[in-house]
Amino acid sequence: MIKISAVIITHNVGDTIGRTLGSLDFCDEIVVADSGSTDATLSLCEKYKCRVFNRPFDGFGPYKRFAVSVAGNDWVFSIDADEVVSEELKQEIVSLFSAGSPAAQGYYIPRSLVFLGRLLRFGGEYKKKQLRLFNRNAGTFDDEKVHEKVCLPGKTGSLKGQLLHYSYGSISDYFEKFNKYTTAAAQSLLEKEKTVSALGAIARFPLTFIKIYLIKGCILDGYAGFVWALFSAMYPFVKYVKLLERRHSGALIPKI
């Protein structure tokens, strides 16, 4: 069987990474790039005999690219610390790599979100394909600091087994990540000299909610679907408000 390296980036993910690591027993090694965890993350990584590299965080794209570069094998499986490989996906990958050299240089894997204890089947988060299994000689992650992706110009294929995304353990956890991601996204837009009007930021909220909740059908996912659509609509709005704040911070002088 062709050897596979699982690569993960971490920072204080001790509450979720144990389940992730436990689903990677089909990989020949687990490479972890950690940016200073102070919780149980590193002890769990030690339990699963991970190869851990400590490095300051410099954006999701560059950080994941580093993790890929230090892997011991050319084929890498990129997984986040809040994701779990389903049994179906595991068996599919084992079968694919036991048959010799894969026909493609990278494979898209369907990822589904579990939110508030429910597997969301609508709204665009069900079996959303992401390029996660690839030969690093053919491609790797881009330089984007947020919303990074694998750039691979060669032949790709698709797998059927799901990657389950347990991204938010609680509403508080959601907003901690929400604040982190919207800040990073706003900074990225600022560096790219992107602009948005106040009206454009305001309009994005209702338009995004209608798109996810009604057009994409999140209304069919019940309470969890409504909350997800609401929070998802808040994301671009807050991102652009933070961008406006940064662009006009010099003019925002409080009255005394």
Nearest to 27 by CA among 43, 46, 10, 50: 50
- Residue 1: its pLDDT value, please? 85
Higher pLDDT, 251 or 103: 103
Q: Residue with structure tokens 């961008």?
A: 243
What does the DSSP 8-state code read for residue 110?
E
Q: Report the Cα–Cα distance between both ends of the chain, in Å, rounded.
A: 70
Q: What is the mean pLDDT of residues 28-57?
A: 97
Q: Sorting pLDDT into bands at 50, 70 and 90, what band is 99? A: confident
- Residue 155: its pLDDT value, please? 96
Q: Residue with structure tokens 């909350």?
A: 227
Q: Sorting pLDDT into bands at 50, 70 and 90, what band is 251? A: very low
**Helix (H/G/I), strand (E/B), else coil: 114:** strand
**Helix (H/G/I), strand (E/B), else coil: 37:** coil
CATH number of 4-165: 3.90.550.10
- Residue 253: its pLDDT value, please? 38
| Per-residue model confidence as pLDDT tens digits over 133-192 | 999 999 999 999 888 999 999 899 999 999 999 988 889 989 988 999 999 899 889 988
What does the DSSP 8-state code read for residue 184?
H
- Residue 42: its pLDDT value, please? 97
**Helix (H/G/I), strand (E/B), else coil: 150:** strand
- Residue 167: its pLDDT value, please? 82
76 close to 24: Cβ distance less than 8 angstroms: no
pLDDT, averaged across the chain: 93
- Residue 255: its pLDDT value, please? 39
| Per-residue model confidence as pLDDT tens digits over 195-247 | 899 999 999 999 999 999 999 999 999 999 999 999 999 999 999 999 999 88
- Report how far residue 129's alpha carbon sits from residue 144's, in angstroms, rounded to the nearest whole number: 19
Question: Which residue type sits at 64?
Answer: K
- Residue 65: its pLDDT value, please? 97
Residue ranges, CATH 3.90.550.10, the chain: 4-165
User: Which burial class, exposed, middle or buried, applies to 79 when counting CB atoms under 10 A from its CB (0-12, 13-18, 19+)?
Assistant: buried
Higher pLDDT, 110 or 252: 110
- Backbone phi, psi, residue 132, to 5°: -120, -25
Q: Considering the chain, what percentage of its residues have pLDDT values greater than 90?
A: 86
- Report how far residue 42's alpha carbon sits from residue 72's, in angstroms, rounded to the nearest whole number: 20
